[in-house]
Amino acid sequence: MLQSFLQNILNALQWGSFYSLIALGYCLVYGVLLLINFAHGDIFMVGAYIAFYCCMFLLGKFGVFAGLPGWMVLAVAIPLTMILTAVVGVTLERIAYRPLRRKGVNRLYVVITALMCGLILENGNLALLGASRKSFPTLVPIKVFEVFGVTVTNIKLMVIGVAILSFLLLHFIVTRTKIGMAMRAISYDRFAVPLMGIPADTVIVFTFVLGSGFAGLAGLFFAMTYPVIDPYMGALIGWKAFIAAVVGGIGSIAGAFAGGFLLGFVEIMVVAFFPSTYRDLIAFSILLLILSIRPTGLFGVARRTKI
């Protein structure tokens, strides 16, 4: 009983790691622009594809060069995937969101644009690469450890470790650096930020770099864990991560991670005790309950203003 409980906790941590890494992208962009970037789930999907092509290339599958050993491929693929996925995110910002922002249009139109961007990414991928699924190459041989009857793979440990490191890094950036302060400042009052001599667009681009970069990282590790990728893989997980971000308290990094892990736990625990078809029903009922008690989410703070 205890063993299966511990096993479930480990699984939940891994599953929650993916939600967390995606949720933080929603959270950062929302925090800075008050924009729900509905294309973010699809940026995660694009990240997985970028990871796929990076890895195939580095493994020498395209015949350009002889190929590197698996662990070295992983070491190179991590930064490469993050950078390229960040480029995709920033491109969306430049061609889709920024022109609307410049015109000062209502946020609703920007959100609709984000939805369309997501659909364009999905269907663009479908048109370009076809509907067939791709199987992700094995980079590091899976090792299974057994401790007190609980099994854990090296990939699972890696995923959890990556999520925790990402949280610490982002927390540091947002709380300790000037650009992080600027990100928080912009979320509070966009008008006053240029008066500090700070170009608002620089801060916004940086936010998209972080959000998309970590979505790419999630895509890479997701594909390593569940080695089949398809153009629609980002849709549902993206929605769920968004909900996780809201439950955690959108706009707070700690909230995004807490929400992501919470959703991971709830889903895994539901499956452990109920038929798996109940999973989403029960999971979202619980989240709904949390939101109705704390509408600002677990870590969210209602904004106060002084007249």
Closer of 24 and 160 to other proteins (Cβ): 24
**Closest distance to other proteins from the beta carbon of 235 (Å):** 33
Would you say 30 or 52 has its CB closer to other proteins? 30
If the CB atoms of residues 152 and 200 are measured against other proteins, the closer one turns out to be 200
User: Rounded to whole angstroms, how far apart are CA atoms 273 and 12?
Assistant: 14
C-alpha span between 131 and 122 (Å, rounded)? 10
The footprint of other proteins (CB under 8 A) covers 102, 104, 178, 181-182, 184-185, 187-189, 191-192, 194-200, 301, 303-307
Of 102 and 273, nearer to other proteins (C-beta) is 102
| Minimum distance, C-beta of residue 151 to other proteins, in the bound complex (Å) | 44
CB 248 → other proteins: shortest distance, Å? 17
- Which residues does residue 152 pair with via DSSP β-bridges, in sequence order? 145
Taking the complex as a whole, how short is the minimal distance between the CB of residue 260 and other proteins, in angstroms? 22
Least distance from other proteins to the Cβ atom of residue 188, Å? 5
Q: Select from 77, 19, 72 the least CA-distant residue to 220.
A: 77
* Contact indicator for 189, 195 with CB cutoff of 8 Å: no
- What does 72-97 look like in DSSP terms, one character per residue? HHHHHHHHHHHHHHHHHHHHHIIIII
Closer CB to other proteins, 143 or 178, in the complex: 178
Calculate the dihedral angle through the C-alpha atoms of 194, 198, 202, 204, rounding to the nearest 10 degrees. Answer: -50
CB closer to other proteins out of 124 and 199: 199
How many Å apart are CA 7 and CA 147, to the nearest integer?
10
Q: From the CB of 31, what's the least distance to other proteins, in Å?
A: 10
Residue with tokens 């600002």: 296
> Within 13 Å, how many C-alpha atoms sit on residue 246's CB side?
18
